[in-house]
Amino acid sequence: MLLKPSESTIVSLLRSRGLRPTRAGRLILARLRQSNDHLSADQVRRELRRRGHKVSIATLYQNLRRLAESGLLVSFADSDGVVRFDANSAPHAHLVCTNCNCIADLPLDDPLVRQLELTPPRGARRWRGWSVRNARLEFSGLCPRCR
């Protein structure tokens, strides 16, 4: 588990991206930055409620969208199509457990990833009219707990 970010760190991060440090935005970003567990919007809402913080669904989704647009969060659809939010915006791959659906980050400099040749040549970034802006790499298997 990562360390709980300080209130001043969260406020600074929000302001650095041109976002107002609203109560809901601070709570959501702090929750997602305190551990790397790739929560869905519903899970974020439940976690906040469990800690005594009520956030409306509309406010939650507005803040998640703004945080993702600003680059403070990365959103992605998991293998079941559920949109999840990741506070690790550095390039990385995901390890997904096919049993419990937990997701772990895998740095791109990890030997498992480095064995793959992931850097496309310049010409491959444009393909049949597409302009490729980013890619996602996902490994699946069983986590240590489920294995």
Query: For position 57, what pLDDT does the model report?
Result: 96
Q: Residue 127's pLDDT is what? A: 63
pTM of the complete model: 0.80
pLDDT of residue 1: 43
- Sorted by where each starts, the structural domains of the chain and their CATH numbers stand as 7-86 (1.10.10.10), 92-141 (no CATH)
Q: What is the pLDDT of residue 126?
A: 63
- Residue-wise pLDDT tens for the chain (147 aa)? 455 788 999 999 999 999 999 999 999 999 999 988 899 999 999 999 999 999 999 999 999 999 999 999 999 988 888 999 999 988 888 999 999 888 999 988 888 887 876 555 565 556 667 776 667 788 889 999 998
93-122 burial, b at 16+ Cβ within 10 Å, e below that, comes to bbbbbeeebebbebeeeeeebeeeeeeeee
Helix axes of 57-70 and 41-50: crossing angle, nearest 10 degrees: 120
